Amino acid sequence: MNAVEIKAVHQRYGRLTVLQDLNLDLAEGEVLGLFGHNGAGKTTSMKLILGLLSPSDGQVRVLGGQPNDKAVKRQLGYLPENVIFYPQLSGRETLRHFARLKGAALAQVDELLQQVGLSAAASRRVKTYSKGMRQRLGLAQALLGEPRLLLLDEPTVGLDPIATQDLYHLTDRLRRQGTSIIICSHVLPGVEAHLDRAAILAGGRLQAVGALAELRDEAQLPVHIKASGVSERHQLIKRWTDAGYSARETARDGIEVAAHSSHKLDLLRQLLGERSPSDVEVVQPSLEDLYRYYMDRAGSDSAGEGRA
C-alpha cells in the first residue's frame, strides 16, 4: 500500500485551474521532494493530502483511506510554512496542548523537545523564541503521535546550517523507521542528499517525477569534470574545444570541461593518462540544475501553446 495516491486530480477555483491531471504517489518509508515556483500547485497538493480540500475531479487516498477520515488524520504530521503559536504559552505547554488535540501521549512532549534541541527553552514563553526556535517547535508538533506520514512545508525556514542538517538527519532516521515524508522547499542544495525522489510542478502540471539519477538521464544535462595541477593544459583545452566540448581554464593550473555523461570516461582517460593532475572532481547535474531545466522546458511549452 502506498502512503499517498493521487490519481487524475484536477483542482479548480471557479474558472481558475490550479492543478491539471496530477498523478503522484508516495511509497511507505519514502522521502519525496515537491518543488515548484510560487503558484505551481504545491500548497494545493498538500491541502488535498491533508483533507483540507476535496479535488474537483480525480481521487486522493492517504494511508489507504480518505484524507478527511479522522483515523487517517491522526496518523499525519504537518509542519506549515508559517508556524503560529499562542505567544503566552511556553514551548512545553504548546506541545502538551497539541498532544491533547491529537490524542497523543503527553509523555512524548519532553522527548520531542529534546529531539529538536529545545529542552533548555521548554519553559520559556513562545513569544521569546526566535524564528528558528518556533520552526523547531513546529517540527516537534508535527512529530506528535509518531505519524506514519509527515508533510513538511519549507521546514528549514529560519534554521541555521547546523539546525538544518539536524533536521535532515532526523528525517533520515524517520525514513529508516518507515515514515513516509513529503518535503516542500525552495532551498534545493541542502535537501538533495536526503530525497528518494523529486517531483517538479509548474503551472499546475507535473513536469517530472523520479529519482535524481532518472531525472538526470531524462534531462541529458552535461557533467562537469574539474581538475587542478594540469600540465600543458592549453593543448588539452584546444583539443577538447576542437572536438566540440566546452572547456576552459580555471585558477592558475586548473581546467574544466562539460560533456555528455557518455563521454565522461573517455575524457577522464585522456586527462589522467596524459597529464597526471593533482586533483580531479566529476560534478553531476544538481537538483538545482534539474529544477531549472524543467522550469525552462515548462516555460517553452507554455509559450508554444500560447503561439498556437
Domain-embedded: residue 296 = no
Is the residue at 198 inside a domain?
yes
- Pair 77, 123 in one domain: yes
Domain that includes residue 125, residue range: 2-217
Asked if 33 contacts 77 with a C-beta cutoff of 8 angstroms, the reply is: no
Is residue 85 domain-resident?
Answer: yes
Residues 195 and 273 grouped into a single domain: no
> 204 and 137, same structural domain?
yes
User: What pLDDT does residue 28 have?
Assistant: 95
Per the domain annotation, does 293 fall within a domain? no
Q: Considering its fold, how many domains does the chain have in total?
A: 2
Provide the pLDDT for residue 303. 43
Question: Do 46 and 195 lie in a common domain?
Answer: yes
With respect to residue 251, please indicate whether it lies within any of the assigned structural domains.
yes
Note whether 247 and 183 are same-domain residues: no
User: Which residue numbers in the chain have pLDDT < 50?
Assistant: 303-308
φ, ψ at 9 (rounded to 5°): -85, 130
Helix-helix angle 212-219:287-307, to 10 degrees:
50
237 shares a domain with 140: no
- Domain of residue 252, CATH code: 3.30.70
pLDDT of residue 300: 60
pLDDT of residue 253: 85
Residues 14 and 117 in one domain: yes
> Residue 81's pLDDT is what?
87
Co-location of 104 and 37 in the same domain: yes
Q: Same structural domain for residues 192 and 118?
A: yes
Same structural domain for residues 252 and 210? no
Residue 303 lies in a domain: no
Residue where a domain terminates, one of 197, 217, 237: 217
- What CATH number corresponds to the domain at position 164? 3.40.50.300
Look at residue 306 in the predicted model and tell me its pLDDT.
38
Residues 256 and 147 in one domain: no
* 8 and 128 housed in the same domain: yes
Helix or strand (DSSP H, E) at 167: helix 161-176
Residue type, 43: T
CA distances from 1 to 51, 76, 139 (A): 19, 16, 26
Confidence at residue 304, expressed as pLDDT on a 0 to 100 scale: 43
